[in-house]
Amino acid sequence: MGGGPAGLTAGIYAARGRLDVILLEAKPLTGGQIATTDIVENYPGFPEPVSGAELMDRMRKQAERFGLPFATADITKITPRDDGFLLEGARTSYLARAVIVATGTEPRRLGVPGEKEFWGMGVTTCATCDGPLYRDKPVAVVGGGDSAVKEAVYLTNFASVVYLLHRRDRLRAETVIQEQALANDKIDVRWDTVVTAMLGDAESGLTGLALQNVKTEEASELAVDCVFLYVGVLANTDMVEGLVALDDAGLIITDNDMATNVPGIFAAGDCRSKTLKQVATAVGEGAAAAFSAQEYLTGGPYGAGC
């Protein structure tokens, strides 16, 4: 389950290993979160930067070459049965003897007034999709992690100024990404700053943000045409809640071989409880999960649970 790097890699390994496998995607052809990333420059084998969309397109073509079938099915429930697992979606159900959950994460929202109202009208979580619409306009990015800082740099290709609003006085993003942002004079970092409301009207959409400095408690307003939210992610694991062990953030706990505590259910990629969330780690986990599932199906040692 899942059409991002982990799911596609598991699919490539399973199809190449001649398992009777199908890859289920909630939405067709999305390629997961990485497909919305403008540039991937740390995935080995690509000395020149590659776009997330192209990288995922290549992985998909590789999976197709091995005959991996795809289906669109948003699985909302998994029920163990004597003969395997029943995977239920809105329209279709599948019976599988083993399941690899590679359903990733989705962007978290802020939950402040105006966010819902102006969603898609100047409030977004995708710089690659919406950034080019704001040529020579002021925009804001909220967050201080890899996504926020990287996408702030990308947005300088279009926007007149990119305000990077971070709730602390130190970025969380990795050093090399921070350095690129701090050296870019189109990026104006506002430290210790939170968004308290999104401002605008029905005709223009978002026109600005109400801000507060968390140290001085000073309130202010910032005129921007778009705000890009990169405030972390939520696990897409509802379908296994109550079935497999999850951590406090709702991420799936596995052993080193990607086996969950339920024999026959494996997990890979960003929906797994782990430290490093990268394409490079997701593909390794997808490969390991497919291998473990194969061992489980053929009576090998893996999949006995953690």
Active site residues: 126, 129-130
Closest C-alpha among 268, 261, 257 to residue 295: 257
Q: Does 267 bind ligand NAP (CB under 6 A)?
A: no
Taking CB under 6 A as the criterion, the residue among 147, 178, 236, 292 binding ligand NAP is 147
* Sheet containing 187-190, strands listed edge to edge, beginning at the edge strand earlier in sequence: 123-124, 226-229, 138-142, 161-165, 187-190
Q: Does 279 bind ligand NAP (CB under 6 A)?
A: no
Q: Does 145 bind ligand NAP (CB under 6 A)?
A: yes
CB of 190 to ligand NAP, least distance (A): 12
Q: Does 110 bind ligand NAP (CB under 6 A)?
A: yes
Q: Does 10 bind ligand NAP (CB under 6 A)?
A: no
Mask: binding to ligand NAP, 177-206, rule CB under 6 A, as x and -?
A: -----------------x------------
24 or 231: CB nearest ligand NAP:
231
Q: Does 168 bind ligand NAP (CB under 6 A)?
A: yes
128 or 278: CB nearest ligand NAP:
278
CB of 260 to ligand NAP, least distance (A): 21
Q: Does 148 bind ligand NAP (CB under 6 A)?
A: yes
Residues making contact with ligand NAP (CB under 6 A): 110, 142-148, 150, 167-168, 172, 174, 194, 230-233, 277-278
